[in-house]
Amino acid sequence: MADRVLLYISAASDLALEREVLSRAITEIPTSLGWRITQTPVTDEPLDLQAAAQADLHLLILGGDIRAPVGAEWLAARRAGHMPTLFLKRSAHTPAALFFIRDLERYAAWHPFGDAADLRRQVLALLVEHILNHAIHYQINPGEFEKLRTWRKQLETPEKKPVDKTRGGAGASSVILSPERFVPSEGKLVGEIKPKHKVNSGRKS
Q: Could you read off the pLDDT of 46-67 as tens digits, one per residue?
A: 889 999 999 999 999 999 999 8
Q: How confident is the model at residue 170 (pLDDT cuts 50, 70, 90)?
A: very low
In this prediction, residue 105 carries a pLDDT of 95
The amino acid at 52? A
- DSSP letters of 172-205? S-EEEE-TTT---TTS---SSPPS-EEEE-SS--
pLDDT at 189: 42
pLDDT band at 128 (very low <50, low <70, confident <90, very high): very high
pLDDT of residue 43: 78
Query: How many CA atoms does the CB half-sphere of 78 hold within 13 Å?
Result: 12
pLDDT digits (tens, 9 = 90+) for 131-162: 999 999 999 999 999 999 999 999 887 665 55
- pLDDT (mean) for 91-119: 96
| Model confidence band, residue 8 (pLDDT cutoffs 50, 70, 90) | very high
Could you read off the pLDDT of 64-99 as tens digits, one per residue?
Answer: 999 889 999 999 999 999 999 999 999 999 999 999
Above pLDDT 70, what percent of the chain? 77
Asked if 36 and 5 touch (Cβ cutoff 8 Å), the reply is yes
- Going by C-alpha positions, the residue among 58, 44, 55, 74 that lies closest to residue 9 is 58
Structural domains of the chain sorted by starting position, each given as residue range(s) with its CATH number in brackets:
6-178 (3.40.50)
Confidence (pLDDT) at 156: 83
